[in-house]
Amino acid sequence: MPQFIAQHLPILQVIVPLIAAPFCALISVRNGAWWLAFVTSLVTFAISVLLFAATFDGEIISYHLGGWAPPIGIEYRVDMLNAFVLTIVSGTGVLTLLYARASVAHEVDAKQHGLFYTAFVLCLTGLLGVTITGDAFNVFVFLEISSLATYAIVASGAKTDRRALTAAYNYLIMGTIGATFFVIGLGLLYMITGTLNMADLAQRLLEHGDSRTLRMGYAFILVGLGLKLAMFPLHQWLPNAYTYAPSAVSAFLSATATKVAIYVLLRFLFSVFGFSIPFEADILFLVVLPLALAGSLIGAYIATYQDNLKRLLAYSSISQIGAMLIGVSMLSASGLMAAIIHLFNHAVTKASLYMVAGAYAKEAGTVSIRELRGVGRDMPFTTAAFVVGGMSLIGIPLTVGFISKWYLVEAALMRGWWPVVIVIVVSSLIALIYVGKFIEAAYMHPAPQGIIRREAPLTMLIPMWIFAGLSLFFGINSSLTSEAAARAAQGLVAASSLIWQ
């Protein structure tokens, strides 16, 4: 690769999809918008892989926009942690767009396809920008770009269910409240330090010491990000948004949006605040950990009562987000590693499962578990992908879900937190109930009379099975993801003043 291109990879990661997005709306050629969005996602994935390879050995890439050095200028800063998240987001974008060609044609009005792919690529742009920027205010700007685009693509599901409009509106209200809390917190930090560069912000907060303004800034940012990542009980927007959005949107958002919000939380907790003030750790232990434990159990419990398969998966996501926050709240290097590896593992698992749900919606005309009885015989390859993903949600060995649960349990045992171990195990057992409920309906009951259900097309089967294959591959050989998560955790450890285990 030419050197002049290689040195500009960080900005190309954001600029390429940002420029491509409006052209998706202008292209009138049949499937032209899809082709442009798909090629754009391939380019962003290639850039992410190059950045991942460049930072794998611990190198930190600092890119100064316009040649202005930080903290005066805006910096894009890439280390192992955000390179890992960039790869998750862009890779999911590629496979989701491959899946979307057939899925979106079924669920979104043909006249809106150009606008749909414009909003989708803008959402991808925002998520990549949030992840790569080293400027705190840019995090807010890109969060809003991704959020506004997300509201639009969720609402595009109104062709098949008008409740998508209400879901998008509720998401907009809750997302706006979260963004407001977040930007107020940033304003309070700026009032203390006079800077928005995150590396400089961390240094000046360390010099400033404890204060009421700092505590309020921390609280506002924590609540704002809690809304964005659907931390229990701030999750009310998520079930309806994931249930009534087009299936390709549900797959993409479940694998990326909340993961990026958790990344931002990690970046602020460990790289910016750095636990130099004792109350930060106290809040995680006394507030976030109990909410994470409750979310892990309650989300799984509510999932067992759902008949709508997409809604079942939505509540399962709330449970899995709780598991990630449990790892973060342990305040140990092993817990942090478990949370980071679960970002990837849950992304590939849940994307596959939502793609299965979308295939049922297209070919069977329903996502009701009662109405999908016997579907395992009519759609064997699609249903087999669900079995693989369901095994991962439970945490059965040889799947990525087992790797996540193993590291979480190991981290909890190192801390001597037996109640946390019990919660992790119980939530997995509850997952066995709601996954087993669908598998029983799919295989153990006869299909309703007079219903014709065909196997999903290859353009839907291939991406769902790539995700399912990744669930198995990295469940058997997790060396790459484990090493990446460990190095990302070490980078956060180095930025923190805690005594780590």
Per the listing, tokens 């939530």 go with 427
120 close to 80: Cβ distance less than 8 angstroms: no
**Distance between CA atoms of residues 252 and 352, nearest Å:** 10
pLDDT score at 177: 93
3-state SS of the chain: helix, strand, coil percent to 5? 80, 5, 20
**Distance between CA atoms of residues 132 and 168, nearest Å:** 27
174 close to 220: Cβ distance less than 8 angstroms: no
Q: Both tokens of residue 413?
A: 């045992």
CA distances from 277 to 205, 210, 245, 280, 283 (A): 9, 6, 41, 6, 11
pTM of the model: 0.93
272 has a pLDDT exceeding 90: no
pLDDT score at 448: 74
501 has a pLDDT exceeding 70: no
pLDDT score at 334: 87
Confidence of residue 6 (pLDDT cuts 50, 70, 90): low
Q: Worst-scoring range by mean pLDDT, 12-21, 60-69, 387-396? A: 60-69
DSSP letter assigned to residue 372: G
**Distance between CA atoms of residues 148 and 21, nearest Å:** 14
465 has a pLDDT exceeding 90: yes
Per the listing, tokens 């995680």 go with 284
pLDDT score at 500: 44
For residue range 316-364, list pLDDT tens digits in order: 999 999 999 999 988 888 889 999 999 999 999 999 999 999 999 888 8
**Distance between CA atoms of residues 33 and 189, nearest Å:** 41
The pair phi, psi for residue 197, each rounded to 5°, is: -70, 130
Closest CA to 335 of 393, 269, 272: 269
pLDDT score at 20: 92
Alpha helices in 330-457 (DSSP H): 333-363, 375-378, 380-394, 400-415, 418-444
**Which amino acid, one-letter code, is at 394?**
I
3-state secondary structure of 185: helix
pLDDT score at 1: 54
Q: Both tokens of residue 356?
A: 């299965």
pLDDT score at 28: 62
Q: DSSP string of 191-253?
A: HHHS--BHHHHHHHHHHH---HHHHHHHHHHHHHHHHHTT-TTS-TTHHHHHHHS-HHHHHHH
For residue range 39-90, list pLDDT tens digits in order: 999 999 999 999 999 888 888 888 888 778 777 888 898 989 999 999 999 9
Exposed/middle/buried for residue 28 (C-beta within 10 Å: 0-12, 13-18, 19+): exposed
What does the pLDDT average to over 375-395?
91
3 has a pLDDT exceeding 80: no
